[in-house]
Amino acid sequence: MASAALTTEERRKVAGVLCGEMSQATGPVAMLLPRKGCNEWDRPGGDLHVLDCHIKGRAFSTSALKLFDVWLQSGTVKAG
């Protein structure tokens, strides 16, 4: 996924496809993501958020809700 070739929305779609494929696996699956990034969009200030926590943990839900609040306030997500 090169940021020069894909828009933010296109990267989201690709990520969704990858997740869908992984969820259908019948054997072990792993997603490897270097902590220091892969491309321009995952550098500090980019639009990828890498969290050092478990998806079922409080840190993840707190971070997700903070991001949602930012999106709500900016109009990215519409209330209601």
The two tokens of residue 63 are 């971070």
Inside any domain, residue 42: no
Residue 40 lies in a domain: no
Residue 41 in any domain: the answer is no
Please report the pLDDT score of residue 6 as a whole number: 73
Domain count, the chain: 2
pLDDT tens-digit series, residues 13-61: 888 898 899 899 887 777 766 666 666 666 667 666 677 888 888 988 8
| Residue-level pLDDT at 24 | 92
Say what the pTM is. Answer: 0.45
Is residue 64 situated within a structural domain?
A: yes
Q: Which domain holds residue 23?
A: 1-35
Dist. CA 59–CA 23, nearest whole Å? 23
Rg of the Cα atoms in the chain: 14
Between residues 12 and 39, the one the model is more confident about: 12
Span 60-77, pLDDT tens digits: 889 888 888 888 898 887
Alpha helix ranges (H) inside 1-80: 8-23, 58-74
